[in-house]
Amino acid sequence: MFALIDCNNFYVSCERVFQPQFDRKPVVVLSNNDGCVISRSNEAKALEIPMGAPAFKYKRLFEKHDVKVFSSNYTLYGDMSRRVMSVLESYSPNIEIYSIDEAFLKLTGFDYLDIIEESYKMKKQISQWTGIPVSIGLAPSKSLAKIANKIAKKFNHKTLGVYSLDSQEKIIKALKWTSIEDVWGIGRRYTKLLKSIGVENALDFINIPDQWVKINMNILGLRLKKDLSGSSFIKLEEIKSRKKSIATTRSFETVLSNLSDIEERISTFATSCAEKLRMQNSCCTSLLIFLRSDPFKKEEQYNNSCVMQLSYASDSSLTLSKQAICGLQKIFKPGITYKKAGVLALGLISKENRQLNLFEPNIIRHDSLMKAIDTINYKYGSHRIKLANQDLNRIWKMKQENLSPKFTTVLQEIIKVK
């Protein structure tokens, strides 16, 4: 048996734990820079505020219906997620943390317990310990657990947040209820293809011949079909695999045409890649740098990239920044208004396995320097220490007008009680 535990409206729920006055009120959380809606309370959903709604377009509606708006507070959400996951770990050693608010549990050897009863207990415990409401879907395979979870959530008044697909009858009914575009892992492309041959829901999908699926949707599609049919074919990924490539790419806030301005951006992107590498204990062996003009301007268009091979694998901000700027200088063409650039770290290897370079004594020294920088940035807020070719004023630019305090991680920001 698999269980999929999914936190309900997770970011909104995190905010409500520390500000319960917004229980039963419409609440939304906005993306970085207060761009668009990324989490909605049920009351906000009832007002038909769609996921991804641009905040500026819905400002009037927010005011009219007294919708509470929060900027995203990832420090808080990350900490609350960790708490939820650690409660789940006490129920089964076989856990796959699928995203910040979702986890699969494998419940083998639990048959002697009443699994549904146990799930209600789990739900209650998470709610009491962390304040976060969750829904739980139970099924013989992961893709079916996804569907069970959706049913648990959608018909909450009947299921009370837990639903189990524990009979063939229920599975058939659930598959029929799930339209094909909502099936986990079926992208837009396959939806179109499947609809063209008359597949409307998940039940239609499992009834098409294996051969057709294998030819048209490769082996992963076939595995999904079998998984949906009720035998577990998609395995639990207990160890998060390290990312195979890491990238930081961004559109500029304004167009840039000066080399030194773009150098600043590229250095920041390279530094950010280096940070991500260090976080997962990897080094990269080459960098790809790209640069693009503004496609919406009726001017000369330019678009180029280059790969810089590093002489040794590195995760040092200094090395990556230096190499990325060398690459930029190669591809930069004056007289163009640029809109977007990016740095991709390629050829990732784990840090333990890297080859050291006999003629590069700085490698080891960089390690301790980077460690010190990471510690300081972690302790005092990110980007307190920067390279001199980065813009020191830039940290203030993120728009976070409705940011809640870091209730669980900063002593000065904890709740006050009278």
Residues making contact with other proteins (CB under 8 A): 20-21, 82-84, 86-87, 128-131, 264, 388, 391-393, 407-408, 411, 414-418
Q: For residue 345, give the nearest of 308, 318, 373 by alpha carbon.
A: 308
Toward other proteins, which CB reaches closer, 353 or 393? 393
Q: Reading across the β-sheet that carries 134-139, which strands appear in turn? A: 95-99, 102-106, 2-7, 134-139, 162-164
CA angle 133–137–141, rounded 5-degree value: 150
Task: For other proteins, give the closer residue by CB, 87 or 224.
Answer: 87
Whose Cβ is closer to other proteins: residue 127's or residue 286's? 127
Quote the Cα angle for 262-264-266, to 5°.
70
Looking up tokens 């598959």, which residue turns up? 175
Burial 194-223 (b: 16+ CB within 10 A, else e): beeeebebbbbbbebeeeebeeebeeebbb
User: For the chain, first and last CA: distance in Å?
Assistant: 47
Nearest 10 degrees: Cα torsion 5, 8, 10, 15: -140
Q: State in angstroms the smallest separation of the CB of 125 from other proteins.
A: 8
* Minimum distance, C-beta of residue 21 to other proteins, in the bound complex (Å): 5
Closer by beta carbon to other proteins, 359 or else 396: 396
Residue 128 or residue 196: which is nearer to other proteins going by CB?
128
Residue 356 Cβ, how far from other proteins at the closest point, in Å? 15
Token output for 367 = 């390690």
Q: What minimum distance in Å lies between the beta carbon of 52 and other proteins?
A: 32
Smallest separation (angstroms) from other proteins to the CB of 303: 28
Residue 327's nearest CA partner among 349, 348, 342, 312 is 342
Label residues 156-175 b or e (16+ Cβ within 10 Å = b): beebebbbbbeeeebbeebb
Pick the closer one to other proteins by CB: 18 or 302. 18
Question: Minimal distance in Å, beta carbon 387 to other proteins?
Answer: 11
Q: DSSP labels for 274-291?
A: HHHHHHTTEEEEEEEEEE
Closer CB to other proteins, 196 or 393, in the complex:
393
Q: Closest distance between other proteins and the C-beta of residue 385, in Å? A: 10
Nearer to other proteins, 160 or 410 (CB): 410
CB 229, CB 198: distance < 8 Å = no
Q: How far is the CB of 209 from other proteins (least distance, A)?
A: 48
